[in-house]
Amino acid sequence: MVAAVEYKEVLVSDLEISERKIREIYDKDKDFEALVRSVGVKGVEQDILCRPSRITDGKYEIADGNHRKEAAIRNGITKLTIKIKDMSDEEMMVIQQICNTHRIKTSSKDELEHLKGFVFTHEDMTHQEVADLFCMDVQTLTKKLKIAHLTPKALSLVNKGKIKPTHAYSLATLPKEEQEKDENLHNAMTMPADKFVQYCIAVRKACQAAAKEGKEREGPVIVMVCRKKEELQTRLTYELKQLDGMHPDDTGYNTLGGVIDALQWTLSIDPDSLALKEQEKAARKKASEETRLIKKTELADKALAEYKANKSSTTASADVEEVAGV
C-alpha cells in the first residue's frame, strides 16, 4: 500500500536537516548560487519532500530538498508548501538515494539547444532580460550561447567532460576549421584556462595574418607572454657573448641559433630559466640582508666601544680630581 501524501504550508524554521542526508550542503558551489537566484525570482517551484519529525512534534525532517531550504532562507522566505509522506528510516534512505540518482546532469548540447530555442522565439527580448528570466548573469548567458559556434566534434568532447566550459567558450571563438584541428582540441583539454585564452588569441591573429596572404594558417602557434625588457636584453646579451665568433658544429648550432633560442624563451614560458632567476634573486636578497646585519653589528660594536672609552675617560678624570682634592 502506498503511503498517503499531504501538502501543507509550514514555517521554514520547522524544517529539520536529516542526520541521514545523503550529501552535505554545498553553499559555495556555482549551481547553488544559481539555485539561490532562481528561488529569489521564481520561489521554490519543486516542493520539498519531508516526513514528520521523529524528534520534535510539529516539525518535519527533510528527505529531499536541503539545498532548496537553504536557498529559501538566503532569500528571506519564511513559509513553504512541502510534500509530507510518512516513511520509515529504511524507506527514507531509499528515497534519498533515488532522488539523487534521478538527477541526470543536462548536457551542454541540450542546455544550449534549450536556450537557443527560447532566444530565437523571443527576439523582442534582450539578452539581459533573458538572463534575468533564467536567473543567470548576462555574461554567463552570452558565453553559453557561444557554444553554438562549436563543431560537433568539439561539442562532443565538451559533453563528455573532456573540455571544460571555460575552455569551450574560448574554443568557440576560433574558425570552424581550427576547432577541428587535433592540436587545438588537445590544448583545450590540457592547457590551464588562462593560458588557453591567450593561445586562442594567438591562433586568431595567425589566422587573420594568413587570410591577408590568401592562404590557410600553418605551423605551431607561439603564445605571447609579457616579459620585462631587461630580461630580454639580459638573455640576448648572454647568448650573443657565448656564441659570438663560433662556427656551426655538427648540429648546425651557431650565433643565430642562440638568438632564436633567446627569442623563443621570450615568447614562451621557460620554467628552468625563470627558476634560476628566482634562485639568483633570492641569493642576492639573502646576501644583502647579511651585509646589512654585518653593518648593523659593526655599528653597534663601534658605539659600544665609544661608550666604554667615554666611561673610562670620565672615571679617570674623577679619580684625578679626587686625588688633587686630597
pLDDT in tens, 221-252: 766 555 555 666 666 666 566 555 544 443 44
Residue with cell 499531504: 6
Among 98-107, 152-161, 244-253, 313-322, the range scoring the smallest mean pLDDT is 244-253
DSSP state of 84: E
For the beta carbon of residue 84, count every other beta carbon within 10 angstroms. 20
Nearest to 84 by CA among 48, 50, 45, 46: 50
Say what the pLDDT of residue 253 is: 43
Residue partners of 206: CB distance under 8 A and separation at least 6:
217, 221
* Top-confidence residue, 111 or 236: 111
Say what the pLDDT of residue 243 is: 55
Distance CA 146, CA 152 (A): 14
Strands (E), the chain: 5-11, 15-16, 48-52, 60-64, 79-85
Q: How many helices (H) and strands (E) does the chain have?
A: 14, 5
Among 45-49, 117-121, 268-272, 294-298, the range scoring the smallest mean pLDDT is 268-272
Distance CA 190, CA 164 (A): 10
Residue 205: which pLDDT band, with cuts at 50, 70 and 90? confident
